[in-house]
């Protein structure tokens, strides 16, 4: 009887360990995956991971009055990048154009000291809110944009990356938001 119980416990433990999967960082998350953010950055998969520079979760969405913002971080031993979106108008299901001072997107690379932002010229894009649930406080959407690089680092960094443009495609998020 004791052997039988031991076998069941060991088998249960093995099955539990096998069933635990770590998120594959080389695959975009499904649009329906909770607490997810990902895109193709210059045709390479970018998925948030780690924490922000304050040690908090690497994914933050907030709504304050008419201001909607997303901050998604990717931090590890070699990378520290963050995507940010800002919409200063009432949030609703629909399409927002990322080409104005009140509606923009950007990506900041702390390691290379480069900041890429949408603007009102050729470097624009869209953010589509596909679900906005005010009861469960969930917002889902898709995005894509091009952004021009602005560099705040050394002269060598500026020369190396002058006029660089990033292309962000197949972006998606499904995030619980906070109101202030």
59 burial type by CB count under 10 A (0-12 exposed, 13-18 middle, 19+ buried): buried
Q: What is the DSSP letter of 100?
A: B
Quickly count: other Cβ atoms within 10 Å of residue 79's Cβ. 15
Structure confidence at residue 27 (pLDDT):
85
Question: How many angstroms separate the CA atoms of 131 and 112, rounded?
Answer: 35
Radius of gyration of the chain (CA): 20
Q: In tens digits, what is the pLDDT along the chain, a chain of 180 residues? A: 555 444 343 434 333 333 344 444 578 998 889 889 999 999 999 999 876 555 556 788 888 888 999 999 998 888 889 999 999 999 999 999 998 878 999 999 888 788 888 888 878 899 999 999 999 999 999 999 999 887 666 555 555 555 688 999 999 999 998 887
Sorted by where each starts, the structural domains of the chain and their CATH numbers stand as: 25-179 (2.40.128)
Q: Are 153 and 117 in contact (CB under 8 A)?
A: no
Helix (H) or strand (E) holding 146: strand 138-151
CB 111 within 8 A of CB 78: yes
pLDDT score for 102: 86
pLDDT at 6: 45
In this prediction the pTM is 0.78
Report CA-CA distances (Å) from 126 to 2, 77, 142.
63, 31, 8
Angle subtended at Cα 60 by Cα 54 and Cα 63, rounded to the nearest 5 degrees: 125
């Amino acid at each position: 009887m004791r052997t039988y119980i031991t076998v069941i416990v060991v088998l249960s433990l093995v099955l539990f360990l096998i069933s635990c999967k770590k998120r594959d960082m080389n695959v975009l998350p499904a649009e329906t995956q909770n607490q997810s953010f990902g895109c193709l950055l210059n045709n390479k998969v970018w998925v948030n991971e780690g924490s922000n520079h304050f040690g908090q979760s690497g994914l933050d969405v907030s709504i304050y009055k008419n201001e909607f913002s997303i901050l998604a971080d990717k931090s590890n031993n070699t990378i520290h990048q963050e995507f940010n979106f800002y919409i200063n108008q009432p949030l609703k299901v629909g399409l927002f154009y990322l080409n104005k001072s009140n509606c923009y997107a950007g990506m900041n690379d702390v390691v290379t000291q480069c900041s890429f932002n949408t603007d009102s010229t050729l470097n624009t894009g869209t953010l589509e809110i596909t679900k906005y649930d005010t009861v469960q406080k969930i917002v889902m959407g898709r995005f894509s944009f091009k952004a021009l690089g602005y560099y705040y680092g050394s002269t060598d960094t500026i020369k190396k990356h002058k006029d660089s443009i990033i292309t962000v495609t197949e972006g998606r998020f499904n995030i619980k938001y906070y109101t202030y």
